[in-house]
Amino acid sequence: MKQLLILLIAIFAISCKAQIFPLGTSPYDIPVNGYIKDTNNELDKYVGLWKGNWNGKTVYIELRKIKYYYSGNHAYYMDKILGERKIINANGTIEINRISNFGNEGAEFWGIFPSLVYPGKDTMLFFPRDMCGKTATIHITNFTTTQMTLKMIYDSNHYDENCIHNAYVAQHDDWPINFPKDIVLTKQ
Model pLDDT, residue 134? 84
Q: What is the pLDDT of residues 61-72, one digit of tens each?
A: 999 999 999 998
Answer whether residue 3 is part of any domain: no
Answer whether residue 75 is part of any domain: no
Q: What is the pLDDT of residues 147-182, one digit of tens each?
A: 999 999 988 766 788 888 888 888 888 788 889 999
Model pLDDT, residue 167? 84
Q: How far is 167 from 150, CA to CA, in rounded Å?
A: 28
Burial class (CB in 10 A: 0-12, 13-18, 19+), 29: exposed
Answer whether residue 60 is part of any domain: yes
Answer whether residue 177 is part of any domain: yes
Answer whether residue 1 is part of any domain: no
Q: What is the pLDDT of residues 76-104, one digit of tens each?
A: 999 999 999 999 999 999 999 999 989 88
User: pLDDT confidence of 14, banded at 50, 70, 90?
Assistant: very low
Q: Total structural domains in the chain?
A: 1
Model pLDDT, residue 20? 95
Answer whether residue 92 is part of any domain: yes
Q: How far is 139 from 128, CA to CA, in rounded Å?
A: 16
Question: Which residues form the domain of 168?
Answer: 44-64+80-187
Answer whether residue 23 is part of any domain: no
Answer whether residue 18 is part of any domain: no
